[in-house]
Amino acid sequence: MWRSTIAALEVVRGALLPARCLQCAASLREAAPLCLSCFRLLESCRIPARELPGLTVAGRPVIAASYYRSASPLRAVHRAAKYHQNEGCAKWLARYMARRIHLPEGVEVYTPVPSHPARLMDRGLDLAGILSQTLASRTNQVVSLDLLRRHTLGTPQDELDRRDRLSNVESVFKAGKQTLSPLHVLLVDDVVTTGATLDACASVLEAKGHTVALASLAFRREIFRLSQR
Ligand SMILES: [Zn+2]
């Protein structure tokens, strides 16, 4: 009885935004993950239009809303969503992304970079899926959660250096159970470092005849290769 009550409270707590700023721990009067000054700091990490699109290692253009700098409050909100199952933070990030990126023309279906089922079970929340659903709902279009499948668990990309990231995602993605006639697909991820994961997923979709555009919540600026350099 008590266990189920505690579990239910955990679910409710995970759906709510925190009462304190996740970056500086200031008390918040409104439901938000950041106080006003930390939100302003986050806004200073927005990617200028002249620096978009970035390029993946294979040269595919990719857009994003923000840089994932070491001092950016985005990191605290992202961690709460991705690693601590805070659905309120995940939805806040999705709304933030949807308001700040210019979606490509002609997208017909949205799909997230898939996580391995075991990792999803462990994390309890599909952040890329929530980002995709929010973007799709903004344009009254559909999201497919089964166009791609990750069949190998592998090491999380954020634990590897640049060279190992490339080999880590080779052959780990396959086409999912859902088959669609060729469409213009927007492939969505949360944080892009080299773009190797996006390239691996895009290759699978392109082999099925789809054309693919790429979008992410954030770029890790320090190692991401920008088209303007
Ligand atoms: Zn703050």
DSSP letters, 160-200, are S-HHHHHHHTTT-EEE-S---SS-EEEEEEEEESSSHHHHH
pLDDT of residue 127: 96
Backbone conformation region of residue 133, classed left if phi is above 0, alpha if psi is from -120 to 50, else beta: alpha
Within-domain flag for 117: yes
Overall average pLDDT of the 37-59 stretch: 92
Is the CB of residue 202 less than 8 Å from the CB of residue 188? Answer: no
- What distance in angstroms lies between residue 38's CA and the mean position of ligand 1's atoms? 4
Share of the chain above pLDDT 70, in %: 81
- What distance in angstroms lies between residue 61's CA and the mean position of ligand 1's atoms? 33
Whether pLDDT at 58 is above 50: yes
Cα 105 to Cα 108: distance, rounded to the nearest angstrom: 9
- What distance in angstroms lies between residue 9's CA and the mean position of ligand 1's atoms? 26
Strand runs labelled E in 68-175: 109-112, 142-143, 148-150, 173-175
The dihedral of CA 166, 168, 174, 178: what is its sign? Answer: negative
Within-domain flag for 39: no
Whether pLDDT at 11 is above 50: no
- What distance in angstroms lies between residue 33's CA and the mean position of ligand 1's atoms? 9
- What distance in angstroms lies between residue 21's CA and the mean position of ligand 1's atoms? 5
- What distance in angstroms lies between residue 78's CA and the mean position of ligand 1's atoms? 15
Within-domain flag for 36: no
Within-domain flag for 14: no
pLDDT of residue 15: 54
- What distance in angstroms lies between residue 73's CA and the mean position of ligand 1's atoms? 8
Within-domain flag for 1: no
Structure-token match 């250096």, residue found: 161
**Number of structural domains the chain divides into:** 1
Which residues are within 8 A (CB) of 51 and not within 5 positions of it... i.e. 6 or more apart?
A: 226, 228
Cα 26 to Cα 149: distance, rounded to the nearest angstrom: 41
Within-domain flag for 228: no
> 95: domain CATH number?
3.40.50
pLDDT of residue 119: 85
b/e sequence 121-149, b meaning 16+ C-beta within 10 Å? eeeebbbbbbbbbbbbeeeeeebbbebbb
Cα 128 to Cα 144: distance, rounded to the nearest angstrom: 12
Within-domain flag for 82: yes
Whether pLDDT at 113 is above 80: yes
- What distance in angstroms lies between residue 28's CA and the mean position of ligand 1's atoms? 9
Share of the chain above pLDDT 90, in %: 62
Print the domain residue range for 179.
47-219
- What distance in angstroms lies between residue 40's CA and the mean position of ligand 1's atoms? 9
The dihedral of CA 177, 183, 188, 192: what is its sign? Answer: positive
Cα 101 to Cα 79: distance, rounded to the nearest angstrom: 21
With H, G, I as helix, E, B as strand and everything else as coil, classify residue 95. Answer: helix
pLDDT of residue 6: 46
- What distance in angstroms lies between residue 25's CA and the mean position of ligand 1's atoms? 6
Within-domain flag for 145: yes
pLDDT of residue 97: 97
- What distance in angstroms lies between residue 82's CA and the mean position of ligand 1's atoms? 20
Is the CB of residue 74 less than 8 Å from the CB of residue 218? Answer: yes
Which residues are within 8 A (CB) of 159 and not within 5 positions of it... i.e. 6 or more apart?
A: none
- What distance in angstroms lies between residue 135's CA and the mean position of ligand 1's atoms? 27
Band of residue 10 on the pLDDT scale cut at 50, 70, 90:
very low
- What distance in angstroms lies between residue 46's CA and the mean position of ligand 1's atoms? 17
Overall average pLDDT of the 31-42 stretch: 94
With H, G, I as helix, E, B as strand and everything else as coil, classify residue 141. Answer: coil
